[in-house]
Structure 1
Amino acid sequence: MERTFLMIKPDGVQRGLIGEIIARFEKKGLKLVAGRFEVLPEDRVMEHYAEHKDKPFFPGLKAYITSGPCFLMVWEGKNVVSITRQMIGATNPAEALPGTIRGDFALEIGMNVIHGSDSDETADREIAIHFKPEEIVSFEKIDEKFLYE
């Protein structure tokens, strides 16, 4: 099974959307294998967003992502990266379809509720930034035989 990194951002946490968002992924059949609630430390913010550090929007992004707690997660499932990206919706909420997380809950591109890895390689990198291997718990869900061929 593949894995991906998802993070409910401070606006999603402040609005009480953690349970709703987790429920959507669980109802889809994906498996939560790690989770942590925390205010991100600066060193991990810099590592996570390294490709954006020289962009003009980065100071605002850094201030926002450290403004309150986030809920960090590792999800597992077949094609989990593409499935979660579809469920999250477009980065710009104005372009996100109804029924997606951003389409249903976000209004601004700068505060768009959730982050999701955009590739298997990015997922591996982001998981390694935020979780130690021993913090990820693999297990077989009782319903897996009804989810996968």
Structure 2
Amino acid sequence: MSTRCFTMLKPGVLNRRLVGEVISRLEKKGLKLVGLKLMNISPELASKHYAEHKGKAFYDPLVDYITSGPVVAMVWQGDDCVTLVRKITGATSPAEAHPGTIRGDFCSHTQHNIIHASDCDESAEREIALFFKPEELIDWEDQASVWF
């Protein structure tokens, strides 16, 4: 069943010039990009996005990092999308992220994690609604077979 997953490339991805590499990995898995925008996140939006972490020791540094520069907000679509995206991104802790995953290959500090991915379908719906208006999502027909 086709579902959607919200992902966000954090400021470090842009600073390290890895946007294309990360998007390419998700595309190569066969996921369909249905929403994409480069944006600055306000402290208010960051606090809504990370509301479940409020009061934790890492909350303020997380908000500071996510608002420190532009991010790339994306919505991906595919069968069991959240599960697939989470496998591609790897464990949150760089020490636990396997080589070959985005975090395993490009992260060295949890505080400067380079990608956020929804952790379940419910979170994906909530996060997509925070960052995208319905008309900003384009569910296009994949016609790759015509080109190859």
Paired position in structure 1 for 2:136: 135
Paired position in structure 2 for 1:56: 57
Tell me the TM-score normalized by structure 2.
0.95
CA deviation after TM superposition for structure 1 residue 117, in Å: 0.1
CA deviation after TM superposition for structure 1 residue 84, in Å: 0.4
Residues 41-89 of structure 1 show CA distances to partners (whole Å, capped at 9, x for unaligned) of 1221111000112112111111111011100000000011000000000
Paired position in structure 1 for 2:102: 101
Paired position in structure 2 for 1:3: 4
Give distance in 1, aligned partners of 2:104 and 2:92: 10
SS across alignment from 1:64: helix
Give distance in 2, aligned partners of 1:76 and 1:16: 24
Tell me the TM-score normalized by structure 1.
0.94
Code of the residue aligned with 1:113 in structure 2: it is I
Give distance in 2, aligned partners of 1:131 and 1:23: 22
Question: 2:96 matched to 1:90?
Answer: no
Percent sequence identity is 51
Paired position in structure 1 for 2:82: 81
Q: Which runs of 5+ in 2 are unaligned?
A: none
Give distance in 1, aligned partners of 2:54 and 2:71: 20
Code of the residue aligned with 1:98 in structure 2: it is P
Task: Report the number of matched residues.
Answer: 145
C-alpha RMSD over aligned residues:
1.3
Give distance in 2, aligned partners of 1:2 and 1:85: 13
Give distance in 1, aligned partners of 2:87 and 2:120: 12
Residues 7-53 of structure 1 show CA distances to partners (whole Å, capped at 9, x for unaligned) of 00011111011100001111111000001101101221111000112
Q: Which runs of 5+ in 1 are unaligned?
A: 145-149
**Which aligned segments of 4 or more residues in structure 1 are displaced greater than 4 angstroms?**
none
Give distance in 2, aligned partners of 1:26 and 1:57: 31
